[in-house]
Amino acid sequence: MSREKWIFGATAIGFAGFGIVLLIFPNLIGLVGVKELKNSGLVEIRAMYGGLQLGIGLFFLLALNRPKWVRAALVAQVCLVSGLALGRIFGLVVTNWHAKPVIYLILAAELILAILGANILISSKKAKKKNEFEIKKDV
């Protein structure tokens, strides 16, 4: 399995899994500290944490078998998980790092996926650049 397929698969599982669970069981958002949701709040959790996450996961599943999507999917993956990690770090800073342990586990997963995705993106760009200047001789 290529590095890109591995990272897309891991990202797809994370987003789609989270999305499916919160689409069906929105009250599980309580595990990270969100409590007392009324009907409108439950609809919002289902949409943003269920539907959107599921859609993102499906995008990465589709990217697994579409070579033309690889670069765009890598950029999307790095931007999405980096944005989540930065938002989570900001939230931790403004709350003096007081959060449930699950928040730190999610942050670790986001940072790992962001770093791995960025590494693949940078290394593939360097390889492409190297090949652009390679002189091939006709035999």
Return the axis-axis angle of helices 3-24 and 101-132, rounded to nearest 10°: 150
pLDDT, residue 115, reads 97
Global pTM reads 0.84
d(CA 10, CA 60): 9
Q: What token pair was written down for 23? A: 């689409």
48-92 pLDDT, tens digit each: 999 999 999 999 999 999 999 999 999 999 999 999 999 999 999
CB 47 within 8 A of CB 12: no
Q: How far is CA 40 from CA 23, 44, 94, in A?
A: 14, 6, 27
**136 pLDDT more than 70:** no
d(CA 101, CA 32): 9
